Amino acid sequence: MQLKFEELIRRLSGGKVDHLYLFTAGESYFLKQAVNLVRRECLGQEERENFHFLSCEDLDFDSLLALIQTLPLVGRQRLIVLSGLEKIKSRDAELMLRLLSKKYPSPPPARLILVAEGLDGQRRLDEFFKTKLGGFLKKEAVAVHFYRLFENEVSGWIVRKVKESGKTISPTLAQVIAEMLGNDPSRIESELEKVYLYMGREKQISQQHLSVICGQARIFSIFELVERVAEGNVEFSLKILDKLMEEGESHLVILAMISRQFRQIYRAKALLRQGVRQADLARALGIAPLFARKIAEQAAFFSFERLQALFIKFFETDLALKSSGCQPRLILEKLIIDICGQNHLWGFDELSLGESKGR
């Protein structure tokens, strides 16, 4: 049985703990969360004594079989996590299949979670499921693949995560965090913990609270840079760039933020061309309405042809910044001048301008 993470949570919340799981991961953060959920539901108060974490790379199958078949001294059952399943040797895979195929009492003395973090893409999963062990697990285990968050999912996840902690955050500020920290949930959670400590008993996360993650002036300087570049304001853009570089901001982060903004502009143009109303653009892009309105306005200044040329320019700039002996400030200055200078030479894109004003 193949489930999504949300379906697994609902199943466990309903008190249904299965005897065999296969957890594969594109995002290990959610996989670890799932292991902890199963552990809590399965073991309760006896979790330390009856929780066993083993590796498939150096597994003693006789000891594993004894562990599965023997009732624990305290409590009713064990939970065994077997990691590194994707690295299991062919001979051991045969032994594992035989062990899992055995008939055990119901309920079984032990429940198993087989973890394969290396199976992080659909192609690898499909290849694994073609093997005897993989085919058995696909049929007999509750299989869950933990996907990475897409860019347009991050801000919504942050809003839900903050709510779980008894706090609230606006979609706009959640988008700010997403822009600054990317789609790594572990990093976001760690930074949010700092914000919670700073907030104390306050419930609503404000712009001031985010200064704990990154100095308030710096947060909004980088967003202002992105906006000014997209607007074609070369003089102001270069001043903000100087300030950010003096404050120690990473040149690769600056490039990532600029390129991400133009990816959003491209997506907005495509959606508007497909007939999506500007009022629905925020939901379609998965960003706050304030950001969506600005992106729709900026989209009017760029044709699809110009945006495609810029994506090539971003790739070339990334390579240049990662080369030895590079001069980051000069490389980024050239990029900004190219974007802003060419803006006016290419002119307005009439279709986007009409769409952004007329909807």
pLDDT at 181 over 90: no
pLDDT tens digits, 64-121: 888 888 877 777 788 999 999 988 888 888 888 988 887 776 777 888 999 998 887 7
Question: At 190, which CATH number?
Answer: 1.10.8.60
pLDDT at 358 over 60: no
Task: Give the residue carrying structure tokens 């985010």.
Answer: 210
pLDDT tens digits, 210-230: 766 655 445 557 777 888 888
The 10 Å Cβ neighbour count of residue 238 is: 19
The pLDDT assigned to 340 comes to: 84
The pLDDT assigned to 335 comes to: 92
Pair 17, 142 in one domain: yes
pLDDT tens digits, 241-299: 888 888 777 888 888 888 888 988 999 999 989 988 877 888 788 776 777 888 888 88
The pLDDT assigned to 143 comes to: 93
Q: What Cα–Cα distance (Å) separates residue 239 from each residue in 148, 252, 282, 317, 333?
A: 36, 18, 30, 20, 10
List the helix and strand counts (H, then E) for the chain: 18, 6
Share of the chain above pLDDT 70, in %: 90
Q: Reduced to 3 states, what is the DSSP secondary structure of residue 20?
A: strand
Pair 18, 142 in one domain: yes
pLDDT tens digits, 189-204: 988 888 888 888 889 9
Q: What is the mean pLDDT of the chain?
A: 83
Pair 65, 199 in one domain: no
Q: Is the pLDDT higher at 324 or at 243?
A: 243
> What is the span of the domain harbouring residue 197?
151-212
Pair 160, 140 in one domain: no
pLDDT category, 144, cuts 50, 70, 90?
very high
DSSP one-letter code for 45:
G
Q: What Cα–Cα distance (Å) separates residue 82 from each residue in 33, 47, 86, 342?
A: 16, 16, 11, 56
Pair 255, 204 in one domain: no
Pairwise CA distance, residues 321 & 124, whole Å:
32
The pLDDT assigned to 351 comes to: 40
> Which of the listed residues 146, 161, 193 is the one where a domain comes to its end?
146
Pair 195, 226 in one domain: no
Pair 142, 20 in one domain: yes
Question: At 62, which CATH number?
Answer: 3.40.50.300
Backbone phi, then psi, for 19, in 5-degree steps?
A: -85, -20
Instruction: Please check whether residue 34 is in contact with residue 62, taking contact to mean a CB–CB distance below 8 angstroms.
Output: no
